[in-house]
Amino acid sequence: MIYYPQIGTNGMMVQLPFSQTFSHLTSVSELDSGPRQSYAWRPNPLKAWDLSYAALEPIEYETLLNFFLGQQGRYAEFTFLDPGGNMVPASENFADASWEKDSTVVGASVAGPFSGSVATTITGTTNGMLASTVLPGGGAIALLLCGSVYVLSPSAGALVLGFIDSGFTLLASQSCSLPANQWTRISFAATLTSLLPVRLLIGGLNSWNGPLSLFGAQVSPLGAAGAYVRTPGNYGVHSSVRFDTDPLVPQYVGPGQIALKLRLTEHA
């Protein structure tokens, strides 16, 4: 699995401003007599990203350059872990089949942390856990990921966030404190290396004794949680992405500072 590189020690993949485009493809005929006919070619939109690096250090540029050379410009395909997406397939639906549940029961819907949002009550025994595959292709090599989830606990306590592989090997974990009766977003970032698919772990390791309310589980290829992104609307693992340019045109804007603009496009 070939991943677009994280080019900084903090997991930096893009700089601001960061532009994302979601594109449907529709054929529309508007007849003079009034009727309108339309046909949607794509069930889901494809994405494109405009990456604007305002100031790269030479070593960071070299990382990007080597990756660009490896892909031979627009030719080869790679996987883009979208910093503007969420690698958890079903971020708000914990009853979804993508969530593996052990000693845990997904209960009723409750009010979420945002106006109009819907969270889910989770009950379980002391060692109950939820796990969702976030890197289905595996092959993580020193990949920085950050997992997060909103939690409402009736009493002060703790909950483990972590990453496990498909063989249940614990890759990294952290016990996160929970205040009583207050929605809190807990997050945990770790640099992972595993050839197997990677999963986000919520709970387990004797960390909690429900019930809890959960909302908005998220994994991003960043050093911090970032803005909450809902899935399945904005899934973060895009496995069919190419550069949209053949020339790579850096601009030297100062001593040891290189500016670069790149466009990546997703293909069906």
Q: What DSSP string describes 233-267?
A: TTBSEEEEEEES-SS---EEEETTEEEEEEEEEE-
Q: Which of residues 116-145 bind another protein (CB under 8 A)?
A: 116-117
- With CB under 8 A as the contact rule, the residue among 226, 248, 250, 257 that binds another protein is 226
Kindly state the number of chain residues that form the binding site for another protein, as judged by CB under 8 A: 34
Q: Which of 258, 262, 236, 232 is nearest to 67 (CA)?
A: 262
| Longest alpha-carbon distance in the chain | 69
Residue 163 vs 228, nearer CB to another protein: 228
Closer to another protein by CB, 51 or 129: give it. 51
Q: Which of 230, 244, 245, 261 binds another protein (CB under 8 A)?
A: 230
Considering the complex, state which of residue 87 and residue 140 has its C-beta at the smaller distance from another protein: 87
Nearer to another protein among residue 22 and residue 168 (C-beta): 22
Taking the complex as a whole, the smallest distance from the CB of residue 116 to another protein amounts, in Å, to: 7
Distance CA 255, CA 226 (A): 31
Asked if 93 is part of the footprint of another protein (rule: CB under 8 A), the reply reads no
Q: Which of 70, 154, 179, 233 binds another protein (CB under 8 A)?
A: 233
Smallest distance from another protein to CB 129, Å? 26
In the structure encoding, which two tokens stand for residue 72, read together? 């031979």
Q: Which residue, 140 or 214, is less far from another protein as judged by CB?
A: 214
Rounded distance between C-alpha atoms, residue 244 and residue 247, angstroms: 9
Minimum CB separation of residue 256 from another protein in Å reads 24
Q: Is 152 exposed, middle or buried (0-12, 13-18, 19+ CB in 10 A)?
A: buried
Closest CA to 146 of 238, 83, 226, 224: 224
Smaller CB distance to another protein: residue 40 or 69? 40
b/e map 174-212, b = 16+ CB within 10 Å: bbbebeeeebbebbbbbbbebebbbbbbbbbbebbebbb
Smallest distance, another protein to C-beta of residue 23, A: 5
Query: Which residues inside 10-69 make contact with another protein, applying CB under 8 A?
Result: 16-26, 28, 30, 32, 34, 36, 38-40, 42, 44-45
- Using the minimum distance from each CB to another protein, give the nearer residue, 36 or 249: 36
Among 150, 147, 86, which Cα is nearest to 122's? 150
- Are the CB atoms for 128 and 163 separated by under 8 Å? no
Binding residues for another protein, rule: CB under 8 A, are: 16-26, 28, 30, 32, 34, 36, 38-40, 42, 44-45, 84, 114-117, 226-230, 233-234
